[in-house]
Amino acid sequence: MPDNPRRVAIVTGAARGIGAATACRLARDGMAVAALDLEAGACAATVAAITAAGGQAIAVGADVSKADQVAAATGTVAAELGPPAVLVNNAGVIRDNLLFKMSDEDWDTVLGVHLRGAFLMSRAAQAHMVDQRYGRIINLSSSSALGSRGQANYAAAKAGLQGFTKTLAIELGPFGITANAVAPGFIVTDMTAATAARLAVSFEEFQATVAAQTPVRRIGQVADVAHTVSFLASEDAGFVSGQVIYVTGGPLC
């Protein structure tokens, strides 16, 4: 293991969007970052951005829904950067459809990546965190956890992550490990662009409609989520655990 005093963070789904922004933000915070996605090559731009700014990062390929790949990826991170102290479970996919049109495969895929993936990654990373008596696990939930038409699979997965998070906080707290969830509302990403396409409206029109309904009168950006994750991943957040923080530009009820 390299002699590196930096905390090591793993960010899943780090090829683009919220994951890429979070990886870059944690690197700015002084962490060595493992940017993980299905293919290591997909994270090349994220790693390049971090290293160009003077940070340290590696790209790692793994399907987070596969236990053997998760174990191998976590081992690679520990060997190349050091034992992970921060885990951001951000990897996700959507397979939107109304319930009567939703296939078994679309249900299983979404639950597998979001919920099983977070479980496998957390189980692998917590062993290193327990040894260090320090850790931060941040799970990406969503405002869709409260219910979202055409997203029974996604809503179920994101709601499940909230219960998972609270349970991790209880189980891992005695070892100096906190667990929290960040639940974004509308954030400009490829995923929300796909939602606009599903609703048969232009992405620009979709953004304008959402902004008009949001108390702060703007749409969310990936940096808004990354800032929140940054705090929860910090040493200063050691007494914040088991919480779900909605990054939505206003209350949802």
pLDDT tens by residue, 20-29:
999 999 999 9
Query: Residue 87: pLDDT above 90?
Result: yes
pLDDT digits (tens, 9 = 90+) for 212-243: 999 999 999 999 999 999 999 999 999 999 99
Task: With cut-offs at 50, 70 and 90, classify the pLDDT of residue 95.
Answer: very high
Query: Residue 182: pLDDT above 50?
Result: yes
Query: Residue 38: pLDDT above 60?
Result: yes
> What pLDDT score does 57 carry?
98
Query: Residue 2: pLDDT above 50?
Result: no
Task: With cut-offs at 50, 70 and 90, classify the pLDDT of residue 163.
Answer: very high
Q: What secondary structure letter does DSSP report for 114?
A: I
Q: Which residue has the higher pLDDT, 1 or 63?
A: 63
> The whole model's pTM is what?
0.95
User: Coil, strand or helix: which one is 116?
Assistant: helix
**CA atoms 56, 139, 79, 82: torsion sign:** positive
| Mean pLDDT, rounded, for 71-99 | 97
Percentage above 70 pLDDT, the chain: 98
Query: Residue 86: pLDDT above 90?
Result: yes
> What pLDDT score does 5 carry?
65
How many alpha carbons lie under 13 Å from residue 1 in its C-beta half-sphere? 13
Among the listed residues 28, 45, 26, the one whose alpha carbon sits nearest the alpha carbon of residue 90: 26
Query: Residue 85: pLDDT above 80?
Result: yes
Task: With cut-offs at 50, 70 and 90, classify the pLDDT of residue 198.
Answer: confident
User: Coil, strand or helix: which one is 189?
Assistant: coil
Q: How many whole angstroms from its chain centre is CA 191? A: 13
Contacts of 246 (CB under 8 A, 6+ apart): 143, 183, 184, 185, 252
Contacts of 14 (CB under 8 A, 6+ apart): 20, 22, 23, 33, 35, 36, 37, 43, 46, 90
> How big is the CA angle at 133 (ends 223 and 142), to the nearest 5 degrees?
30
> What pLDDT score does 220 carry?
95
Task: With cut-offs at 50, 70 and 90, classify the pLDDT of residue 113.
Answer: very high
Cα–Cα dist 226/26, whole Å: 8
Q: Which residues are catalytic?
A: 154
Contacts of 202 (CB under 8 A, 6+ apart): 196
Question: Do 153 and 102 meet the contact criterion of CB atoms below 8 Å apart?
Answer: yes
Cα–Cα dist 27/24, whole Å: 5
CB atoms within 10 A of CB 225: 26
Task: With cut-offs at 50, 70 and 90, classify the pLDDT of residue 1.
Answer: very low
Contacts of 252 (CB under 8 A, 6+ apart): 143, 146, 185, 246
